[in-house]
Amino acid sequence: MEKENPANNSPPHIASTPPPQNTSTDLISINATAQLPLKLTHLNYPSWRAQFNALLFGYDLMGFVDGSKSCPPSTIMNDGKPTPNPDFALWVRQDQLLLHAIIASTSENIMSFIASAKTSREAWQKLAHLYANKSRSRVMSLKDRLSSLSRGTKSVSEYLQLIKTTADELAIVDSPLDDIDLVIYTLNGLGPEFKEISAAMKARENPITFEELYDKLIDYENFLKKEEMSHDATVLTANFTRRSNGQGTNSLGRNYNRQNPRSNNGQRNNNQHGPSRPPNFYRKAESPPSHTTRRRGTDQLSTNVTCQYCDRPGHTAKKCYKLHPPSEPMVNFTSSNRLAAQDWLMDSAATHHVTNNMQNLSLHSEYHGPDEIVVGDGSGLPITHTGSSLLSSHSNSFIYLMFFSFLP
């Protein structure tokens, strides 16, 4: 009789694979510095929200901030007994990581508004209430801001960024602008420098989009910059010398003109008879520059630009005398101790000359402008007349000179 092998009677072994791990339990940490480089300010909420939304959708975390993934109960029933719910602890941890990312991606002046938030949804709603409030007053405030925006001294790129940001805020509160309105708002705030291109854009039969307008305005700004570089205003210089009774002339320094080096020649004199009067400097008082500027090497006058800051023609805001006071043109005054003689020594490279004797002027007229002549101690001499004189030279030719007349 065969013995039965007990191994043959054992039940078959059924191998089982471990259940797949639930990847939903993995926490997602957001590096705000690397993944959210744009920090929230009072001016960029639409851009900041678009950046954050893309990240939340990518990680499937939007439910935490929009409320679709609510917090689970803290306890569950197990065999009739309440036990801690592991899903609750996981939800709280993930929500706090999101709250940290929101706080870390805001600037310091905005952080105080959400510092008391307990959940990411609460912080998200507070920011939406601050910058995406759909009230009528909010819409009116944004449209008023848009209509009052002007380029001023900002670059075209900065100005258009402000326009687009305000338009995006209107879109968030369900009051979007079409391209025609956006283009009109943009053109109205450009300033007089862009009046030619503004008129051309408004006269187009086919409407232009904001993106197309952006490219054209950037190109026109570059054109204006090249025009500014070709306009070099002539710096006024003047030289006044007198000869004493055969004793030479005295001088305290040189009349140096950076933009006209020729006027530096012949200005160095020896002081042989005691101290002389300090050099004078012609200074423009608080008045705008000439309405026209002379091109370098030509006699053409440029009046095709108007300053958008002071609204005067002949210069742009980057060269406006109110924002960037021009270098003071110089006048060199040399004399000896005795000023009895009336002989003149002219610096042919100077653009203007000064005199305190009206008889030196062939033609003259009264001067009522704000300019003055400033001497070395800082005191000013008023200019009473302007005029010209036609003098003969040793070569029997004539020299035409422009003069300022002042009270000694």
18-61, pLDDT tens digit by residue? 433 444 468 999 998 899 999 999 888 988 999 999 999 999 99
Residue 60: count other Cβ atoms within 10 Å of its Cβ. 11
Reported as a single tens digit per residue, the pLDDT across 254-286 is 444 444 444 444 444 444 444 444 444 344 444
Q: Are residues 160 and 244 in the same domain?
A: no
Q: Radius of gyration (Cα) for the chain, nearest Å?
A: 39
| pLDDT greater than 90 at residue 375 | no
Rounded-to-integer distance, Cα 275 and Cα 258, Å: 27
User: In this structure, are 56 and 149 located in the same domain?
Assistant: no
Number of domains in the chain: 3
Does the pTM surpass 0.75? The reply is no
Residue 254 corresponds to which tokens in the numbers above?
């040189």
Residue span of the structural domain in which 212 resides: 136-230
Minimal CA–CA distance to 316: which of 324, 305, 325?
Answer: 305
Q: If you average pLDDT over every residue of the chain, what do you get?
A: 73
* 10: in domain: no
Do 248 and 381 share a domain, yes or no? yes
Inside any domain, residue 297: no
Structure letter (DSSP) for residue 382: E
| Region of residue 173 (left: phi > 0; alpha: psi -120 to 50; beta: else) | alpha
Domain boundary among 131, 159, 180: 131
